[in-house]
Amino acid sequence: MTHHANTAVVEFLGLRFALSNEAAAREWVIEHSRMAAFSFLVTPNVDHVVRLHRERPGPDRDALYRAYDSADLCLCDSRILALLARWSGVDLPVVAGSDLTASLLSAPLPEGTRIALVGGNDTQRMWLEAARPEAQLFHHQPPMGLRTNLPAQAAAAAFVEETQPHITLLTVGAPQSEIIAQLIKSQGEARGVGLCVGASLEFLTGEKRRAPRAVQAIRMEWAFRLLSEPWRLWRRYLVEGPAILGIWRRWRRENGG
């Protein structure tokens, strides 16, 4: 994984997390948005880490490995991961992708900033246009099945290369966002910075409700989301998510914890 020269990192559960707070991460994004080469950041949570550590190789795991290996900034987007890190003697700051996106879009951007939205919907596009009228917005909606649709992935990358945005917001979920970001970077034709930001815009537009700060503070945001969308998230949080404890125990044994 490549990193900005001034960004300290710490290894935890096989990832090299940046020791950056939200303000420093926002500055990093603004700085890299004006660079000639494309860079991107990822915000792994428990679900992402569990995918990376699945015993059986598969396209999801392999794609995430490639993406995280080439990401330029890796931020911890989970208070559960941060707690496990603390129990291991690792001080891991939490910078939620949703908070970073909100911070980035809450203040004026340089006049003429070009923003590409890959994914999302018309509601999110109109929200962005209203929130940041000083920016030029370009919107691309990939088809369903993007995870295994190689031509659609290539089309999304080509869209970013053609529009040459300063900031690319990738909202097509994991590992699709990371796959496209890694593809864009590997082709070397784009500029600026890409953010794999998950449901961040859905929270900003009010399409989804984020857990109150008090719930986040006690590390129960996952439960709030589960209750909000049980039909979609029950397997992630109740079946797959608990595997993080075994992953963490193995990491501690291997690292003398």
Q: Which has more pLDDT, 151 or 214?
A: 151
Distance of CA 101 to the CA centre of its chain: 10
- φ and ψ of 141, to 5 deg: -110, 100
For residue 224, what pLDDT band results from cuts at 50, 70 and 90?
Answer: low
List Cα–Cα distances, 208 to 82, 198, 225, in angstroms: 24, 12, 9
Task: Kindly state whether residue 226 falls inside one of the protein's structural domains.
Answer: yes
Task: Kindly state whether residue 19 falls inside one of the protein's structural domains.
Answer: yes
Per the structure, the complete domain to which residue 227 belongs is given by 9-254
Residue type at position 94:
V
Nearest to 217 by CA among 83, 106, 21, 45: 83
For residue 198, what pLDDT band results from cuts at 50, 70 and 90?
Answer: confident
Q: H/E element holding 41?
A: strand 39-42
pLDDT surpassing 70 at residue 215: no
| Residue 159 pLDDT | 98
| Residue 145 pLDDT | 87
| Residue 5 pLDDT | 44
CA-CA-CA-CA torsion sign (3, 153, 109, 121): negative
Specify whether the CB–CB gap between 198 and 43 falls below 8 A: yes
For residue 255, what pLDDT band results from cuts at 50, 70 and 90?
Answer: confident
Distance from C-alpha of 223 to C-alpha of 140, rounded to nearest angstrom: 32
pLDDT one-digit tens code per residue, 101-111: 999 999 889 88
For residue 114, what pLDDT band results from cuts at 50, 70 and 90?
Answer: very high
The burial class, CB within 10 Å (0-12 / 13-18 / 19+), for 107 is exposed
Task: Kindly state whether residue 156 falls inside one of the protein's structural domains.
Answer: yes
What is the domain count for the chain?
A: 1
| Residue 203 pLDDT | 84
For residue 190, what pLDDT band results from cuts at 50, 70 and 90?
Answer: very high
Q: Which tokens go with 61?
A: 């795991």
For residue 74, what pLDDT band results from cuts at 50, 70 and 90?
Answer: very high
pLDDT surpassing 80 at residue 250: yes
Task: Kindly state whether residue 205 falls inside one of the protein's structural domains.
Answer: yes
For residue 237, what pLDDT band results from cuts at 50, 70 and 90?
Answer: low
Task: Kindly state whether residue 1 falls inside one of the protein's structural domains.
Answer: no
- Collect all residues with Cβ–Cβ distance below 8 Å to 175 and sequence separation of at least 6: 51, 60, 63, 64, 67, 147
pLDDT one-digit tens code per residue, 27-67: 999 999 999 999 999 999 998 899 888 755 666 667 778 88
| Residue 4 pLDDT | 47
Q: pTM of the prediction?
A: 0.88
pLDDT surpassing 60 at residue 12: yes
| Residue 226 pLDDT | 66
Quote the percentage of the chain above a pLDDT of 90: 59
DSSP β-ladder status, 73-74 and 136-140:
unpaired
Specify whether the CB–CB gap between 118 and 170 falls below 8 A: yes
- Collect all residues with Cβ–Cβ distance below 8 Å to 178 and sequence separation of at least 6: 42, 63, 64, 67, 68, 71, 170, 196
Q: What is the mean pLDDT of residues 157-168?
A: 97
Q: H/E element holding 117?
A: strand 114-119
